[in-house]
Amino acid sequence: MKKRQIKHNILITAGPTREFIDPIRFISNSSTGTIGYLLAQSAKRRGNDVVLLSGPTHLKPPPGVKTVSFNSARELKNCSDRFFDWADIIICTAAVADFRPAKVINRKIKKEKGVPEIKLVRNPDILKGLGRKKKNKVLIGFALETENLIENGLKKLKSKNLDLIVANMHSKKSFPFGKRQVTAFLIDREGVQKHAKTSKERLARIILDRADKLCYILKQPKKRR
């Protein structure tokens, strides 16, 4: 007998942010949005209602998925807040810039004027903000580290009140961006689960399975002591 799939409202963030310095140049990162798009595609195929918040990518939006575009971290925060109440499960794969220029120059900076000094200010911590108000929602984050992967992943899990964090390394031997195999560590309060040399398609299915289980557990009535 086929197992009945429970339908959820799933909010997924994907891709990079762009923090403009002037009308031409911006601060960004190497995120392609691949894992977020694969998660959205797989979640939709399972019969869920899915909203995908996407930074600038070259990927085609998955069929049947409501896709909302953003550029900056502050735009992503506004979009996340907009769909927060609607979502049962929130999966944050977007690579968000921690800092942005304090001031955006309204004209292209000319090199003839010398090297500019660009002051940076902090962007809002979107994931931490969601963790503060999540209550009975499942919140999953991602961490890309260059050192102390498990230690930093556990710290982020606790400090941002996450239910699960997907962590992987960035190094000369391990470049996780794009559609390729990755080695990922799924970290929760029960421990660490390693998935070595796994395709991103399979990783997306594993994450969604965990999200389903976490959502089921959260919705169970608490026993009185």
**Interatomic CA distance for residues 81 and 206, integer angstroms:** 26
User: Would the CA dihedral through 199, 39, 58, 74 be positive or negative?
Assistant: negative
Task: Tell me the CA distances in angstroms from 13 to 91, 102, 150, 167, 219, one per residue in order.
Answer: 7, 25, 23, 16, 23
Pairing status of strand 138-145 against strand 164-169: parallel
Domain housing 13: 9-101+117-218
Of 9, 29, 78, 161, which one is the catalytic site residue?
29
pLDDT in tens, 46-71: 999 999 999 999 999 999 999 999 99
Please tell me the predicted confidence (pLDDT) of residue 123. 97
Please tell me the predicted confidence (pLDDT) of residue 176. 59
Q: Please indicate, yes or no, if residue 107 is contained in any of the structural domains.
A: no
Answer yes or no: is pLDDT of 4 > 60: no
Span of 108-122, 145-159, 164-178 with lowest mean pLDDT: 164-178
Please tell me the predicted confidence (pLDDT) of residue 171. 54
Q: Please indicate, yes or no, if residue 111 is contained in any of the structural domains.
A: no
Q: What is the CATH number of the domain that holds 161?
A: 3.40.50.10300
Q: Greater confidence, 109 or 147?
A: 109
48 is known as an active-site residue: no
Answer yes or no: is pLDDT of 216 > 80: yes
Q: Please indicate, yes or no, if residue 132 is contained in any of the structural domains.
A: yes
Answer yes or no: is pLDDT of 194 > 90: yes
Please tell me the predicted confidence (pLDDT) of residue 170. 73
Domain count, the chain: 1
Average pLDDT of the chain is 91
The closest alpha carbon to 125, from 151, 153, 161, belongs to 161
**Interatomic CA distance for residues 67 and 214, integer angstroms:** 25
Q: Please indicate, yes or no, if residue 134 is contained in any of the structural domains.
A: yes
Q: Please indicate, yes or no, if residue 202 is contained in any of the structural domains.
A: yes
Contacts of 8 (CB under 8 A, 6+ apart): 43, 48, 49, 88, 89, 211, 212, 215
Q: Please indicate, yes or no, if residue 112 is contained in any of the structural domains.
A: no
Please tell me the predicted confidence (pLDDT) of residue 225. 45
- What is the identity of the amino acid at 183? T
Q: Please indicate, yes or no, if residue 224 is contained in any of the structural domains.
A: no
Q: At what angle do helices 200-218 and 34-45 cross, to 10 degrees?
A: 60
Q: Please indicate, yes or no, if residue 51 is contained in any of the structural domains.
A: yes
Please tell me the predicted confidence (pLDDT) of residue 174. 54
Please tell me the predicted confidence (pLDDT) of residue 1. 38
Please tell me the predicted confidence (pLDDT) of residue 147. 83
